[in-house]
Amino acid sequence: MEFNLADLFEHAVDNYPEREYLVADSKRRTYQEMEDRANRLAHFLAAQGVGPGDHVGIYAYNCVEWVESLWAIFKLRAIWININYRYVENELAYLFENADLVALIHGRQFTPRINAVRSSLALLKTSIVMDDIDNTEENQVSSQDIAEAVKKFGSIEFEYALSQGSPERDFAPRSGDDRYILYTGGTTGMPKGVIWRHHDVFYALGRGIDPISGLKAEKLGDMVERGRNGGIIIFPIAPLMHGASQWGVMGSSFIGDKVILTAKFDPYKVWETVEAERANTILITGDAMARPLVEALEESGKNYDLSCLLAISSSAAIFSSALKEQFFSHFPNLIISDAVGSSEGGNNGIVILSPGKTKMAGGPTVTPLEGSLVIDDDFNPLEPGSDKIGKLARTGYIPLGYLKDPEKTKETFFEIAGKRYVVPGDYARVEADGTITLLGRGSVSINSGGEKIFPEEVESAIKSHPEVYDVVVVGIPDEKWGQKVAAVVEPRDGKTPELSSIQDHCRKLIAGYKLPREIHFVDQMQRSPSGKADYPWAKELILKRNGSS
């Protein structure tokens, strides 16, 4: 059968109506409460002219209303658009125009920024404002200015919108061909909307194929049966504008799990929440979250009761070996998993790690999931143990392409002998046992004297230096070698490691030609809210300091 995401959620509601579904800071929803409120919002949106195929933006911090909005939009067969809350006006204007939004559901504090680019919302029919965390100091906008902006923009209050809609589930039949769009993070350029069919993305990212057991859902009931003996409690920490958290929420919804959300990442608050809500699994995005979490655990002086914690899962960013071992020192029986995937390719592979076996040769080495492979330039699969470097690819359940970008779609999606492939641009190697080692994204790889160097591998080595807190590695121009390796480093408090010390340390872990040739220190690293490296920022910083731009 063909699967639709709203149908999957409603089936879980029918089987587990009284289970607690969502906790976001001080607000709680059971499955039935979420259903009723999402239905009300869906009916209100429909009354404003929102229908199948229409694009509705969600622009807010993690909150209950974010999740209520996503289900309401899917119930109408419309498409919700994830909006990065860190975008400045020109980025926001680009996304608004590119996404063709007909409706916008937004956090109150973002209204002044929306007003500034109102001309980019030419198709907008309605907007709804929700209350979110008070962050006026960070955004340097007063409460009065926000109130005036909301009045000027004309957004309808979220709770009023719900009060005008029916709680009944009386929507038209849906299809597995309905669309889901995931905008990429835009860390190497402007964001792109990746278009998926519901049926395909359910199997690629929504647990339609269980990543551990390989069991494949054949009917709606297969998903709720997985949670029949009681769901687990899962805590996705990254923002919902990031795909990993979206699928942490949605995939858990289909099997009756309880989900915890937090508006902003605070490592101390995370541990307090794990203890209070008895969370079983936390989802992180690499070192940017792992490091402050483990250090908060060590520095807090508080003995949290974390006996409930069973697993930590990371995706989308490097989770270095040293930090994994630190977690194991606190939780010897913890299940730590590392996943490889992308907005375009879904989940390509996963590895379950054990203490003392966390060493990486670049990115993680994972067991490939169904449809994942490494190919050469002629689309031939690489043989295990060949030691050749190819590109990570996926076939089977893959996206349709990029929104309004046929050229980029042609560069990334291919059809060979009647079979479609997606090749996002990640380099990888197939090991002798058939596992896949991720090496890095080709768009940020460094070519030094003809040798290809992947920043993630160098970053992993530098991060293990005891005086380094965080690092981003880029290639900069070099007269002799074409490019050379340069690193932006955030040192640990009170430390300023010498370049020679970092090189000596890294020489034990990576080949000599991969060593950093320059180090540039910063007080605080700039990363996306999901923890991804901001390579353009790092490169621009170095070039400016070197007087090259």
Structure confidence at residue 135 (pLDDT): 52
The total number of residues written for the chain in this structure: 549
CATH fold group of domain 445-545:
GMP Synthetase; Chain A, domain 3 (3.30.300)
Contacts of 139 (CB under 8 A, 6+ apart): 109, 110, 113
Q: Which CATH number applies to 363-442?
A: 2.30.38.10
Tokens of 465: 């230096």
Cα 63 from chain centroid (whole Å): 16
For 197-211, write each residue's pLDDT tens digit: 999 999 999 999 988
**In 3D, which of 91, 131, 82, 81 has the Cα closest to residue 111?**
131
Q: C-alpha dihedral over 135, 139, 145, 148, to 10 degrees?
A: -80
Report yes or no: 331 and 354 within 8 Å, Cβ to Cβ. no
**How many Cβ atoms sit within 10 Å of the Cβ of residue 328?**
18
Region of residue 418 (phi > 0: left; psi between -120 and 50: alpha; otherwise: beta): left
Instruction: Specify the 3-state DSSP secondary structure of 281.
Output: strand
**How many Cβ atoms sit within 10 Å of the Cβ of residue 299?**
11
Q: What are phi and psi of 20, to 5 degrees?
A: -70, 130
For 379-397, write each residue's pLDDT tens digit: 899 999 988 989 999 999 9
Report yes or no: 283 and 313 within 8 Å, Cβ to Cβ. yes
CA separation for the pair 124, 112 (Å, rounded): 17
Structure confidence at residue 288 (pLDDT): 83
What pairs with residue 80 in β-bridges? 56
Longest CA–CA span in the chain (Å) reads: 69
Report yes or no: 520 and 476 within 8 Å, Cβ to Cβ. no
AA letter at 414 = F
Tokens of 231: 């769901």
Structure-token match 């640990």, residue found: 492
Contacts of 147 (CB under 8 A, 6+ apart): none
Q: What share of the chain is helix, strand, coil (3-state, %, to 5)?
A: 35, 25, 40
Enter the pTM of the model.
0.86
Half-sphere exposure of 119 (CA within 13 A, CB side): 3
What pairs with residue 346 in β-bridges? 342
Structure confidence at residue 137 (pLDDT): 46
Q: Give the N- to C-terminal CA distance of the chain in Å, as an integer.
A: 56
For 339-353, write each residue's pLDDT tens digit: 988 888 889 999 998
Instruction: Specify the 3-state DSSP secondary structure of 220.
Output: helix
**In 3D, which of 432, 315, 424 has the Cα closest to residue 364?**
315
Q: C-alpha dihedral over 277, 278, 281, 286, to 10 degrees?
A: 60
Region of residue 13 (phi > 0: left; psi between -120 and 50: alpha; otherwise: beta): alpha
Cα 109 from chain centroid (whole Å): 23
**In 3D, which of 219, 220, 177 has the Cα closest to residue 197?**
177
Q: Mean pLDDT in runs of 10 for the chain (549 residues)?
A: 97 97 95 98 97 97 97 98 89 94 95 93 96 58 78 90 97 98 73 95 94 90 90 94 94 97 94 97 91 88 91 86 91 93 88 84 84 92 91 95 95 91 91 90 78 84 92 90 92 94 92 92 85 86 87
**Where do the CATH 3.30.300.30 domains begin and end in the chain?**
445-545
Tokens of 53: 């195929």
CA separation for the pair 198, 39 (Å, rounded): 19
Report yes or no: 349 and 342 within 8 Å, Cβ to Cβ. no
Instruction: Specify the 3-state DSSP secondary structure of 408.
Output: helix
Q: Which CATH number applies to 5-19+26-199?
A: 3.40.50.12780
**Where do the CATH 2.30.38.10 domains begin and end in the chain?**
363-442
For 219-271, write each residue's pLDDT tens digit: 999 999 998 888 899 999 999 999 999 999 999 999 999 999 999 999 999 99
Contacts of 94 (CB under 8 A, 6+ apart): 120, 190, 191
Helices (H) and strands (E) in the chain, counts: 18, 28
**Where do the CATH 3.40.50.12780 domains begin and end in the chain?**
5-19+26-199
Which DSSP string corresponds to 178-201? Answer: -EEEEE---TTSS--EEEEEHHHH
